[in-house]
Structure 1
Amino acid sequence: MRDTPGRLREAAERLLAERPANQISLRDITDTAGANVASVGYHFRSKDALLDEIVREALTTVYEQQRALLAKLPDDAGIEDVVRAWVLPTLTLRADDQDTVQRRRFRILQNTLNAPSPATSALLAEMAAPVQQQLLQRIARQVPHVSIEELWLRHTATLAALGALGSSLFSTMLDGIAPESLAEQLVAWIVGGLTAEPALRSG
């Protein structure tokens, strides 16, 4: 039988894959883990600290993959390659139906993005900032006709759309689309949105 910290982590991961952190109680975790309430504080300081640790690990996996892919690209890489480096890590998590850990990690990220708590929002901002800054710098060089303000809006809208695609409401609409086909279609759509002419032109 797994030790108590391991059972608590496993329980927290399972619950975070089912619903957002703000819908998980201390009792939910301990009942699922078969542990007493005091054990969470003893091993992880608090329920929120335990949940934040699980979310941080899931986010770290995605951001490290994005950083690694961006780092491999030459300085003159096209915008399609830059967008692939941005998007493919999250789609890989979604597509890997054979890997329980990967599937769970994707659901954790999905639930985190759909209903972030204040603490999780701060964690997202902290961890995303370095990757997003590098990403936007590379994209900006490819779309000099788009202002930074509008590019940020397009970037944010893309994130929102990708997050929505993983929800149960929309994911069923994508049944039957091969993951590799879905990835390339989304890359083409994102590139089209990022490179479109500005909505408003000065003068």
Structure 2
Amino acid sequence: MATPDTRTQILDAAEQLFAEHGYSGTSIRAITKLAGANLAAVGYHFGSKADLMGAVARRATEPINAAQCAGLDTLLARTPDPTVGELVEAFAGPLFDALPGGDEGGARRSRLIVMILSDPAEAARGWTGPAEDTVRDRYFAAFARALPGLSPQELWFRMRGILAVTSVDRLQVHQHPTPGCDSPTPGEAARHWALTFLTAAVSAPPTRP
């Protein structure tokens, strides 16, 4: 097996440390030490710590975004008005595929997504671009058609909730297997439970003041 190149080693180290310590709690020196690279390598390959954060986040999320887009394309080719359950499955399903609960890599990327959602540092959240915006906007429009009674603010809150619940579940399954079970929750069962729960949550009546 070929040895990972310096850029990949830096990405791997940064993903691990950002996921564990957050953006502000991770230094370039710590990343390069873990990667076995010199300090100048980050500047050469990425430019800055913020640019490195963006590269790490995109590497983790691009396959998920692509699968989400493909799932939505399939739904819309069949009907212009998918159900809430179908939209939730197309949106959340790729997270289960990319973040397997029994895998350390899946747990690390789950931690990374939770960090992106919660870290106060702007660089942890401000790395998105047109590709990420397109996925968000397409799903937002589809959910808005299926749930016309929701305000834009509440709809976006519920979409963020799908990401948060799924990521935390994948991380928890890895770290704390289901009580009474000798192994992590079977992926298909957990996926079914989550999609059922999330569909009910997203479909709930609008919150009234």
TM over 0.5: yes
1:129-168 residue CA offsets vs partner (Å, 9 max, x unmatched): 3222211222222223434443333333443433443455
Report the more deviating stretch, 141-150 or 167-176: 167-176
In 2 relative to 1, CA 43–135 (structure 1 residues): closer, same or farther, beyond 3 Å?
A: closer
Report if the CA contact (8 A) 2:92-2:163 is conserved: no
Moved more, 116-125 or 170-179: 170-179
**Contact 1:93–1:106 (CA<8 Å) still a contact in 2?**
no
- Counterpart position of 1:192: 200
- Aligned residue in 1 for 2:62: 60
1:142 is matched with which residue: 131, 140, 146?
A: 146
Take 2:60 and 2:198, find their aligned partners in 1: how far apart are those partners? 24
Residues 116/162 of structure 1: CA separation in 2 closer, same or farther (3 Å cut):
farther
Match of 1:45 in 2: 47
> What secondary structure is seen at the aligned counterpart in 1 of 2:57?
helix
Identity of aligned residues (%): 28
Conserved? CA contact 1:110–1:166, under 8 Å: no
Task: Specify the alignment match of 1:90 in structure 2.
Answer: 95
Aligned residue pairs, count: 200
Aligned equivalent of 1:77, options 76, 82, 85 = 82
2:118 matched to 1:110?
no
**Worse-superposed segment, 163-172 or 182-191:** 163-172
In structure 1, list runs of 5 or more residues that go unmatched. none
C-alpha distance in structure 1 between counterparts of 2:117 and 2:11, whole Å: 20
Cα distance in 1, alignment partners of residues 155 and 53 from structure 2: 33
The farther-off stretch of 36-45 and 67-76 is: 36-45
Residues 30 and 37, structure 1, Cα contact 8 Å, conserved in 2: yes
Q: Residues 197 and 171 of structure 1: is their aligned pair in 2 closer, same or farther, counting only changes over 3 Å? A: farther
- For the residue of structure 1 that corresponds to 2:38, the secondary structure is coil
The offset of 1:28, in angstroms, is 0.6
Whether the 8 Å contact between 1:58 and 1:105 is mirrored in structure 2 is: yes
1:87-118 residue CA offsets vs partner (Å, 9 max, x unmatched): 011122222645x6555433432333332520
CA contact (8 A) 1:59 1:127 kept: no
The alpha-carbon distance between structure 1 residues 6 and 166, as it changes in their structure 2 partners (threshold 3 A), is: closer
| 1:11 corresponding residue in structure 2 | 13
> Which amino acid counterpart does residue 29 of structure 1 have in structure 2?
I
